[in-house]
Amino acid sequence: MRADIEGCLQDITSELKSVSKFSDDRVLELLRMLTPLEPLKRHQDVKLLRTKNAAAWLLGLESFCKWRDSNTTPVEKGGRVFSCYGIPGAGKTVISSVVIDNIYSQLHKVYSNIGIACLYADYKDQSNQTLAHILGSFLRQFLTTASECIPDALFEKLDVILKQGGKVGTENIMALLKIRLQQLKRAFICIDAVDELDPNVQRQLFDVLRELGTNYDNTRLFLTGRGHIESEVQKRLHVLQKHQVVITASEQDIQEFLEQQIKDDLNPDAMDKVLAKDIIDKIIKKSQGM
């Protein structure tokens, strides 16, 4: 069995025709209509850059584990949100990918009705990463990462949309998303580099996430971004202090990454162990300002 969310998507998408009394053509039509975004392709690309123990320190935090595993409604306001901040190059995107796969490996195999959705924000793709496309992507992933049957109510709503011309706007997607969320035991939304979204889209998305977090006890949100976005996240989502982490590249992370890069060198004979160690030591010292 595949141990990652991409595998889950492929497996479940191929079986969609068995999860509803409606034809698979209607399911596939729904998926095609929702969004042009393909975040799981980006997810797979990021996985290729990861070292074996990447972000192990985060996965071991008690606050992170409680955020991920809690079956109860958090009493404290903002308890459903976990956020990580760091400078460019600190490893935020790699951490996001690790968290996505960790949620799948730890929870999805135990509970099939857990939905996982992700977004890798990119300032170069702001024109495409609109609110409608982002929410459509979340819905599409919730439909394909959770094996819970797609409800009749969702298809009934789809019929109305098709009769109105087939354009799936933000309001329609929100209605469909809420129907799906009601089915799920838990729904995780992981957004990397949230600061790279268009400012207007970012604010609109925060408002939607706040609404979902307020009205649906099963939602959990994971965010990464540069430090300047922290105040906006706090203003909109009220994250608990214990659920906010500043990311810095650890000495172990840097060493493992460099060792892997040297190992993958197409000309391994050009470097011996002594030279490799010297290079790694110097880079680590420089990263620490020494």
For 141-178, what is each residue's pLDDT tens digit?
998 887 777 878 887 887 777 777 666 788 888 988 99
For position 123, what pLDDT does the model report?
A: 94
Q: Where are the beta strands (DSSP E) in the chain?
A: 81-85, 114-120, 186-192, 219-225, 244-246
Q: What is the Cα–Cα distance from 267 to 83, expressed in whole angstroms?
A: 40
How does residue 26 score in pLDDT terms, banded at 50, 70 and 90?
low
| pTM recorded for the entire structure | 0.79
- Which of helix, strand or coil describes residue 47? helix
**31-42: per-residue pLDDT in tens?**
777 888 999 899
| CATH code, domain carrying 153 | 3.40.50.300
Q: What is the Cα–Cα distance from 255 to 54, expressed in whole angstroms?
A: 11
**What is the 8-class DSSP label of residue 4?**
S
Residues 141 and 176 in one domain: yes
For position 34, what pLDDT does the model report?
A: 83
Residues 173 and 96 in one domain: yes
Q: Could you give the number of structural domains in the chain? A: 2
For position 91, what pLDDT does the model report?
A: 85
Range with the lowest mean pLDDT among 22-36, 98-112, 234-248?
A: 22-36
Residues 149 and 173 in one domain: yes
Q: Which domain holds residue 273?
A: 250-289
For position 282, what pLDDT does the model report?
A: 58
Residues 161 and 264 in one domain: no
